[in-house]
Structure 1
Amino acid sequence: MLTGVPGEVIPDGAVLVRDGLIEDVGPAADVIGRAAAGTPRVSFPEARILPGLIDVHVHLVFDGGEDPVATLAATGDPALVLDMAARARRLLDVGVTTVRDLGDRNGLAARLRDAVAAGTVPGPRILTAGAPITVTGGHCSFLGGQADGVEQVRALVRRQAEDGVDVIKVMVTGGHLTPEGPSSWELQYGTEEVAAAVEEARRFGLRVAAHVHTREGVEVAVAAGAHTLEHCTFLTEAGPPAGPDADEKLIRTIAEKGVYVCPTFHGGMGALETRFGADVLRPWLEIRRDQHEQGVRLIAGTDAGVTGVGVEQYAEGLRWLGRAGLPADAVIAMATSVAADALDLGGRTGRLRPGLDADLIVVDGDPRADLSVLRHPRLVVARGRFHVPRAGESLPWE
């Protein structure tokens, strides 16, 4: 059993689940001995148990196809919420028990969040940002979260908080999903606007996720107090950064301030490598390795839903973190305990600890030796609800 803390391993472990929570965890003989007589048991002698996986950056409204924006525009809300529910189930199939949705339309992710929590539909725990905050005509403005200037940003944060979002998303720079809007290397908001969002969000107990690509955007988000940096690519108009050395000081600042960084590595990177060659991706891999070595708290998120990125490709993103040179133990923590801390859920999930929600997976093989074994879990438990991903497979109850 891997508890979610790097290096913390129980060779023959067991977890006791009751009423959706972890009641006991430890060596199997001890846990079984402490359990009430007649407690049902399911056994996987050759497998590994670890906490449920967390994807901190998804877009359930997007389908991951060639033109997800056009598909979204052509899909009405009644059909869209059913599509989103299907994607949520597919996330559960690959062991993801918690997601943070960072780009929604018309509050559909919140409706799905509540349905999953009630047990009406299967899926992972969902945290939703609602529509991301962006300038008029800016990146993802078609989702509805437009605000210009400090006062409009404050007002929109208040309105979203009242609507019941779990996190605030701010588009500090542009992005490729909105061709008519600012490019990825262009700044949309300055420090004043982002700081206003952070300050207003804090009043409601919410954290702020900042979509940032450029060095300038990263500086704005860090200075403003954003909690997580999404992408954080240090992109320039000419393309990827020349190398991590040029941004050493800023990377150290990110580490010192304890800001979390989501690289949004995903399964679609393999297609990019095939199309453009390994040299194109090398700068992105090098900067992640350098960030990790400098002590930046990296977390696992895939940007699932954007072009070429399906929700079922979660484990492929982890493999790319491994290819960047990050130790497997560290990658597993980025997908479990560190990700939970980043989402302010460390007291509820991300580790195998008594009193936490029963979010866990069982996989064949050792992910410390091969992260790809995380692709196909045998069992997923999400807040105590058992889910068997493999069609036709039954659990080995004793």
Structure 2
Amino acid sequence: MNNVLITADRVILGPADQTISEGAVLIESGKVTVVGAAADLDGSVDARVPRLRCPGATLMPGLIDCHVHLAFDAGPDPIGAVLEAAPDELSIAMADRAAQMLAAGVTTVRDLGDRDSLAVALRDSIDSGTGTGPRIVAATAPLTSRGGHCGFLGGEVTTDDDIRAQIARNAAAGADLIKVMASGGALTPGGPRMWEAQFTPGQLRLIVEEAERHGLGVAAHAHGSETIAHCVAAGVRTLEHCSWRTAEGIVHDPGVIRRMVEDDVAVCRCVSGDWRLFLDQMGPERAKAMVEVILEMREAGVRFIAGTDAGVPGARFGDYVGMLEFFASLGFTHPEILDMATVNAAHALGLPDTGVLAPGKRADLIVVDGDPLTELGALRRIRHVFTAGWPVARQDLVVLGQVQSLVACPDDRLLR
């Protein structure tokens, strides 16, 4: 069923404030070809085209997770799990995790650090139709300092020549972008602390220039306030975490925030479904400061994009909506949040063919039970998933305990 007319109580076109009540989308040859009122399309579309009628449901663009690590297992020791797994074993596990994300309605993921370019191999398998999973945008091995954050993934560099060589290796391996660990992180024992820089401003500029020479953008893991400023000046496309940390606490720079807006640098805060525990661990004072800077960036017009950091300890692959609920708790509106997960994410990732439902776009879409514009929990009730126009079979969605994310739909009707 690659050609189908899908009707639902509402269609979210993207941005999320553009909707059609009693709407329909026609999919042909993997693309959206017509969007409009269900009554009009039902009468004008060839009667031989199958009809999928979904009463009580919302049809919308597929969700995008801008920050995942398919090679990690979300357990307490992801480093050990990655290093100890044989390549074949790890490849199978990554495919299972990707399938979990698809079951949660995520039709595109950006993998920001794996081992042995296994995410590229999985991407190619899915693209060729031999595997089932979301579209993958892969960074391969992230650039990091010697002994630095996530150095175990194979991207350690020291000199400018090292940087050029590693970027060339990543590009040759099929990377879709370059990831740089611009600051330290909490995952790697003995590495620089989260606010400490791993690269000089000149090296960050070199990384962006070399990546551009290979036709690639740069995503920067950046916790430190000074490092965030250097990354924005260097010209990175997205800032991962962007938590504005210093040795003394959380300190942000309004001038850097203004430049982020001017240069269209998107922010992926990388929030997992266990965000309540994370806030408790931060303590009330630091948590309050973190929330305040997020709201100030929002007020300034920073483009936020959705990402879970799935794979790091506690960040489960099937819990995408938990991350969205964090932003709702801060007062972000539901349309804002849905845009973070669709149209804004697609723009930041350089994917103009997805994120919205419009003629000529790739047919990555989901049908959910209820209305996510009024209840984000509707996104947990997945009825149907289409990727590049192909419906994902229900048995392919029921993996690794994900059956709870599927909704039995006795009222849905496939008519020919």
User: Does TM, normalized by the shorter one, top 0.5?
Assistant: yes
Structure 1, 58-67 or 197-206: larger mean CA deviation: 197-206
Bigger share in strand: 2
Q: Which position in structure 1 is the counterpart of 2:207?
A: 197
Question: Is the CA contact 1:285–1:323 (under 8 Å) kept in the aligned structure 2?
Answer: no
- Residues 1:276 and 1:250: Cα distance change in structure 2 (over 3 Å): closer
Question: Is the CA contact 2:75–2:312 (under 8 Å) kept in the aligned structure 1?
Answer: yes
SS in 1 for 2:267: strand
Q: Which position in structure 1 is the counterpart of 2:194?
A: 184
1:383 is matched with which residue: 382, 388, 405?
Answer: 388
- Verify: 1:359 aligned to 2:369, yes or no: no
- Residues 1:247 and 1:325: Cα distance change in structure 2 (over 3 Å): farther
SS in 1 for 2:259: helix
Deviations 1:328-378 (A, max 9, x none): 1111011001100111102x1100011111101111121121212212311
Q: Which position in structure 2 is the counterpart of 1:41?
A: 51
Matched residues in 1 for 2:347 and 2:18: separation? 17
Uncovered stretches (5+) of structure 1, i.e. residues with no partner = none
Alignment size in residue pairs: 393
Matched residues in 2 for 1:267 and 1:362: separation? 22
2:74 is matched with which residue: 51, 59, 64?
Answer: 64
Deviation of 1:186 after TM superposition, in Å, equals: 0.7
- Verify: 1:316 aligned to 2:337, yes or no: no
Question: Is the CA contact 1:364–1:377 (under 8 Å) kept in the aligned structure 2?
Answer: yes
SS in 1 for 2:414: coil
Deviations 1:225-252 (A, max 9, x none): 001000000012244x16xxx5222212
Q: Which position in structure 1 is the counterpart of 2:296?
A: 290
AA in 2 matched with 1:90: Q
Matched residues in 2 for 1:393 and 1:327: separation? 29
AA in 1 matched with 2:44: R
Deviation of 1:180 after TM superposition, in Å, equals: 1.2
SS in 2 for 1:13: strand
SS in 1 for 2:109: strand
1:261 is matched with which residue: 258, 267, 272?
Answer: 267
TM-score (norm 1): 0.95
Matched residues in 1 for 2:383 and 2:287: separation? 32
Alignment of 1:74-223 (within 5 A): 74-223=84-233
Q: Which position in structure 2 is the counterpart of 1:306?
A: 312
Matched residues in 2 for 1:71 and 1:280: separation? 31
Structure 1, 143-152 or 227-236: larger mean CA deviation: 143-152
Matched residues in 2 for 1:39 and 1:334: separation? 33
AA in 2 matched with 1:107: S
Matched residues in 1 for 2:407 and 2:299: separation? 44
Deviation of 1:62 after TM superposition, in Å, equals: 0.3
Matched residues in 1 for 2:102 and 2:181: separation? 28
Question: Is the CA contact 1:265–1:321 (under 8 Å) kept in the aligned structure 2?
Answer: no
SS in 2 for 1:192: helix
Matched residues in 2 for 1:291 and 1:174: separation? 22
Structure 1, 69-78 or 96-105: larger mean CA deviation: 69-78
SS in 2 for 1:10: strand
Structure 1, 268-277 or 381-390: larger mean CA deviation: 268-277
AA in 2 matched with 1:286: E
- Verify: 1:224 aligned to 2:234, yes or no: yes
Question: Is the CA contact 2:62–2:355 (under 8 Å) kept in the aligned structure 1?
Answer: yes
- Residues 1:12 and 1:278: Cα distance change in structure 2 (over 3 Å): farther
Matched residues in 1 for 2:38 and 2:170: separation? 46
Question: Is the CA contact 1:94–1:314 (under 8 Å) kept in the aligned structure 2?
Answer: yes
- Residues 1:392 and 1:27: Cα distance change in structure 2 (over 3 Å): closer
* CA RMSD of superposed structures (Å): 1.6
Question: Is the CA contact 2:224–2:242 (under 8 Å) kept in the aligned structure 1?
Answer: yes
Question: Is the CA contact 2:148–2:198 (under 8 Å) kept in the aligned structure 1?
Answer: yes
Q: Which position in structure 2 is the counterpart of 1:397?
A: 414
- Verify: 1:235 aligned to 2:224, yes or no: no
Question: Is the CA contact 1:176–1:184 (under 8 Å) kept in the aligned structure 2?
Answer: yes
TM-score (norm 2): 0.91
SS in 1 for 2:81: helix
Q: Which position in structure 1 is the counterpart of 2:287?
A: 281
1:333 is matched with which residue: 323, 332, 339?
Answer: 339
AA in 2 matched with 1:311: F
Deviations 1:145-198 (A, max 9, x none): 111132221221122112110010011001111111111111000111111111
Deviation of 1:73 after TM superposition, in Å, equals: 1.9
Matched residues in 1 for 2:286 and 2:208: separation? 35
Deviations 1:61-89 (A, max 9, x none): 00111111122222111100000000000
